[in-house]
Amino acid sequence: MTYPGTHAAGRRSGTPSRSGGRSAAVVPPRVPARRGPAGRRAVLAVLWAGLVLAVLPWWLQTPDESLRTTTATLTAAGRITGLVAGYLLLVQVLLMSRLPVLERRLGTEQITRWHRDIGVTLLVAVLAHVSFTLTGYARLQRQSVLAEAGILLRDYEDMVGAFVAAGILALLGFTGVRAIRTALPYELWHHLHLSSYLVLLLGFGHQFAHGQQLFRPGPVRTGWIVAYLLVAAALVWGRLVLPLRFNLRHDLRVADVVAESRDTVSIYLTGRRLDRLDLAGGQFLRWRFLTAGRWWQAHPFSPSAAGNGRWLRLTVKVVGRHTADLRNLAPGTRVWAEGPSGTFTAAHRTRDRALLIAGGSGITPIRALLEELPPGAALIYRARTPDDVLLHRELDWLAEARQTDVWYVIGSRHDPGPRQMMSPEGLRQLVPDLTERDVWLCGPPGLVEATVRALRRAGVPRRQIHLATFEL
Binding site for ligand FAD (CB under 6 A): 186, 284, 297-302, 315-317, 319-323, 361, 364, 470-472
Euclidean distance between CA atoms 24 and 349, whole angstroms = 19
Euclidean distance between CA atoms 64 and 115, whole angstroms = 35
Euclidean distance between CA atoms 292 and 75, whole angstroms = 53
Nearer to ligand FAD, 78 or 339 (CB): 339
Quote the least distance from Cβ 443 to ligand FAD, whole Å: 11
Quote the least distance from Cβ 301 to ligand FAD, whole Å: 4
Quote the least distance from Cβ 291 to ligand FAD, whole Å: 15
Quote the least distance from Cβ 86 to ligand FAD, whole Å: 29
Quote the least distance from Cβ 174 to ligand FAD, whole Å: 18
Nearer to ligand FAD, 310 or 322 (CB): 322
Quote the least distance from Cβ 172 to ligand FAD, whole Å: 17
Nearer to ligand FAD, 218 or 445 (CB): 445
Quote the least distance from Cβ 78 to ligand FAD, whole Å: 37
What's the per-residue H, E or C state across 301-312?
ECECCCCCCCCE
DSSP H helices in 211-340: 219-236, 242-250, 321-325
Instruction: Say how many residues make up the chain.
Output: 472
CA torsion sign for 302, 178, 36, 427 is negative
CB 158 within 8 A of CB 206: yes
**Which residue sits closest to ligand FAD, CB atoms considered?**
320
Quote the least distance from Cβ 365 to ligand FAD, whole Å: 6
CB 331 within 8 A of CB 282: no
Quote the least distance from Cβ 364 to ligand FAD, whole Å: 3
CB 376 within 8 A of CB 29: no
Strand partners, 313: 268
Quote the least distance from Cβ 312 to ligand FAD, whole Å: 12
Q: How far is CA 313 from the centre of its chain?
A: 21
Degrees (nearest 5) of the Cα angle 218, 222, 228?
155
CB 118 within 8 A of CB 95: yes
Nearest to 19, CA basis, from 224, 265, 268, 387:
268
Longest CA pairwise span in the chain (Å): 84
CB 304 within 8 A of CB 313: yes
Burial class (CB in 10 A: 0-12, 13-18, 19+), 176: middle
Euclidean distance between CA atoms 450 and 113, whole angstroms = 19
For the chain, helix (H) and strand (E) counts, in that order, are: 17, 12
Quote the least distance from Cβ 178 to ligand FAD, whole Å: 11
Could you please report the per-residue DSSP string of 272-285?
A: S-GGG----TT-EE
Burial class (CB in 10 A: 0-12, 13-18, 19+), 413: middle
Degrees (nearest 5) of the Cα angle 325, 327, 333?
85
State the pairing for strand pair 405-410/299-301: unpaired
